[in-house]
Amino acid sequence: MIVGAGGVGKTTISAALGLAAAAAGTATVLIAADPSRRLRDALGLERLGVKPRLMDRRRLAAAGLDTDLKLASMALEAHAVWDGMLERFVAMPEARRRIRANSFYHNLTRRFAGADNAAALAQLIELRGDKRFALHVVDMPPGGQTFDLTDGPANLARLLGSDSAQWLLEAGRLSARLTVTNRLAGLVFDQITRFAGVEPLAAIAEFFAAAADGAGAIAGRMREAEALLRSSATSFVLVTTAEPERLSAASAMIADLKSAGLKLGGVILNRVADELTCAALRSQRPTSPPHLLEIELLGERAGDAAGAPNLERLADFFQEYATGCRTALLDAAHFAETLPAAVELALVPEIASTKHDLATIAALARQLVMPLYGREVLQQARHVFAEPRSGRPLGGATGDRAAPSARALRR
């Protein structure tokens, strides 16, 4: 389950993780749980179906990849899942017809907090039975929506299994006449509407009467989905960038995952510095990246070149970039110290590509599986950047301006 704030590259990283796993010989399916369907765009596909579909061999070949890779993609589709659960758990066609036409059912499945998400996660239970794939990589909704998704099954199971729901189910079986003037019916009505919004009692009663034979099984499926989230088979991987506000949000999400009883398996620091900087820090004898030292030298020469304002502005631009690299790596190193030792940590530089295609995702996948890819690189960064290499701090003063990105530097 790949989680993180919006704008940190979570979907691209999800695709890269799936591709890395497939390249290592693990049959993998990429699953979009984010309704924005960004995964479709990241893979360059026109659409994502509701069933796993293997990547086209020609598309893999065009990206320079093994055409035998077992990599599929799909999207979780909540409404189709609800209809599927009705078909499976409500035996009588007439009862299914009444449920589909019921206003309370529409409110429950479309507006009840977490109902869409609960159904989407219930679909994962079905996917586990597909023996073609050993790994499911789920691109989750951004930020706080993640917990709407993970809380959905428990909330819905609690609603369908509540004492109030059981009373309505029994009343439905007995064809009991319910009115709001009935004191007990009024109390039940109040309990149900707290969960699923205000609907006429007649609609609520009709729903539970029609669903009497299937509600328990549907609640059981919701409990299965909740148990899957907290099982040893499921890990959450958090994606973040190294900006201070992003790292702060990441720390908060880590705390939320822990309090929810969800297992954090890994953290990926995305777009931290550039490929040259990370390659230098990954080397057996790490040194300050040569291109950053050249930026220092450019700054010194620009200071000596009187009457060359353009050169000074260019030097300042590169100095800001060097400072941005150094700051991001040191901030990331400090953040890494707060992570539990058992949590894997990967560092991914910004890839030198202006395209968002399968070949770029393959380049990211290669970065994810490189040796010395996490804590070690950040420890090297702390060693290399602990002291300025000259009288002038590496990168110089930046004032209040944000350091340019690697993409801006290439331009």
CA atoms within 13 A on the CB side of 185: 16
Give the predicted TM-score (pTM) of the model. Answer: 0.78
DSSP string, 224-276: HHHHHHTSTT--EEEEE-SSHHHHHHHHHHHHHHHHTT--EEEEEEEEEEEHH
Give yes or no for a contact between 367 and 373, defined as CB atoms under 8 angstroms apart: yes
b/e map 208-243, b = 16+ CB within 10 Å? bbbbbebbbebbebbbbbbebbeeeebebbbbbbbb
pLDDT at 69: 93
Classify residue 129 by burial, with Cβ atoms within 10 Å: 0-12, 13-18, 19+: exposed
Which pLDDT score is estimated for 178?
44
Q: Is there a contact between 263 and 337 (Cβ–Cβ < 8 Å)?
A: no
The Cα 10–Cα 16 span in angstroms is 10
Integer Cα distance of 192 and 197 in angstroms = 8
pLDDT value at residue 339? 92
The pLDDT of residue 337: 92
Residue ranges, comma separated, of all CATH 3.40.50 domains in the chain are: 2-234
Q: What angle do CA 145, 330, 349 make, to 5 degrees?
A: 65
To the question of domain 2-234 being in CATH 3.40.50, the answer is: yes
What is the pLDDT at residue 83?
77
List, for residues 244-296, the tens digit of each pLDDT value. Answer: 999 999 999 999 888 888 899 999 999 998 888 888 888 767 677 888 888 88
Within 13 Å and on the Cβ side, how many CA atoms surround 97?
Answer: 3
pLDDT at 177: 46
pLDDT of residue 8: 92
317's enclosing H/E stretch is helix 309-337
Per-residue confidence (pLDDT) for residue 173, from 0 to 100: 47
- 183: phi then psi, degrees, rounded to nearest 5: -60, -45
What is the mean pLDDT for each group of 10 consecutive residues in the chain (411 residues)?
91 93 95 79 83 91 91 83 80 84 73 63 79 91 65 62 54 46 47 50 65 73 83 93 94 90 92 88 77 83 72 87 90 93 90 77 86 79 69 39 51 51
**What is the token pair recorded at 380?**
């090297």
